[in-house]
Amino acid sequence: MGKQQNKIISLKEARTKGLKKYFTGKPCKWGHISERIVLTGNCQGCRPYVYKKRMSNPVTKNKIYEGNKKYMQTKVGKDKKNAADRLRGKINSKTIAYRRYKSAQNYIKTRLATPKWENKTLSKKIYKIANDIQKVTGVKMDVDHIIPLKADTVCGLNVWYNLTIIPRYINSLKNKNVLPEIVDHIANKVDWMEYIDSKYSFLCKTFPNQERFETYIEKQKELFKMIMDKKNHKKNPTLYKLYLMFQTSSGGGKTFTNYLMCLPVSY
């Protein structure tokens, strides 16, 4: 395909016709002979250079990224991405079939794991709490099964007292581990709802925005270093106690991610 030659349309004509672009045939001050935008009069040939300049500045670069993110969440953006993926062959009949198979499997899995005595109003309430936390804190939350529906050793049920709310990034780190502390709580079914309520009302009060949440995580990292450093144990016995508790909890507790999993933030 050759480059399409533009017809000469004056600004006035383009305006009366309701077009978005016009073309005069005259070069811009940098010498591009290209279309201009009706609203702003900006030269299209200059666009890549303007973009490069904006990307070289970290502040405007962030703005561009955030704008793109917002756009990708809209319906138009999603449709465009899907169309582009189809063109590139990222989505084909195979991948579509695989997605359908997966979603069907998930459906069957949850159907099989849901007993008759499941209280749907309570599990809906947990999902609503998760939604509220996400709105207040700005941290993406997942509703997770404490004992996974499908695991190697035990399979959990899809019931309200098997649901918990955790930040999404922790959910991705957690995989299929089950914490012994949580198993203790499941024994008291009646208390479980109150437990979740209290824990997450606390969360909402403590982290009204993402920034404060991140500083919290940073502080936890510092604390983790102090706990893991054996030199501190003689000076501070509580650090030693935390160290022991942390070592005995699931996952061996040798990494920071394991440590995060044992925090009240995650459970």
Stretch that binds Zn ion, among 20-28, 150-158, 169-177, 203-211 (CB under 5 A): 20-28
Amino acid at the residue 8: I
| Residue position matching structure tokens 């499997």 | 105
Distance in Å, CB of 42 to Zn ion, minimum? 8
Task: With beta carbons less than 8 A apart as the criterion, state whether 196 and 129 touch.
Answer: yes
Q: Is 23 among the residues that bind Zn ion (CB under 5 A)?
A: no
Nearer to Zn ion, 30 or 117 (CB): 30
| 21 counts as binding Zn ion under rule CB under 5 A | no
Q: Name the segment binding Zn ion (CB under 5 A); options: 25-33, 120-128, 148-156, 204-212.
A: 25-33
Q: What is the CA radius of gyration of the chain?
A: 27
Phi, psi of 93 (to 5 degrees): -60, -35
Q: Burial letters for 90-115: b for 16+ Cβ neighbours within 10 Å, e otherwise? A: ebeeeeeeeeeeeeeeeeeeeeebee
Instruction: Please tell me whether residue 30 binds Zn ion under the rule CB under 5 A.
Output: yes
Region binding Zn ion by CB under 5 A among candidate stretches 27-35, 206-214, 223-231, 232-240: 27-35
CB of 99 to Zn ion, least distance (A): 44
26 binds Zn ion (CB under 5 A): no
End-to-end CA distance of the chain: 59
b (16+ CB within 10 A) / e for 45-83 = bbeeeeeeeeeeeeeeeeeeeeeeeeeeeeeeeeeeeee
Which residue's CB is nearer to Zn ion, number 26 or number 75?
A: 26
Q: What's the rounded Cα separation, in Å, for the pair 115 and 56?
A: 57
Provide the minimum distance between the beta carbon of 33 and Zn ion in the complex, in angstroms, as a whole number. 9
Least Å distance, CB 53 to Zn ion, is 13
Instruction: Please give the backbone phi and psi of residue 31, each rounded to the nearest 5 degrees, phi first.
Output: 95, 5
Q: Is 32 in the site for Zn ion (CB under 5 A)?
A: yes
Site for Zn ion in 194-213 (CB under 5 A): none
Q: Is 43 in the site for Zn ion (CB under 5 A)?
A: yes
Interface with Zn ion in residues 58-117 (CB under 5 A): none
Among 46, 155, 182, 226, the residue binding Zn ion under the rule CB under 5 A is 46
CA 17 to chain centre: 44
Residue 138 in 3-state DSSP? coil
Residues that bind Zn ion (CB under 5 A): 28, 30, 32, 43, 45-46
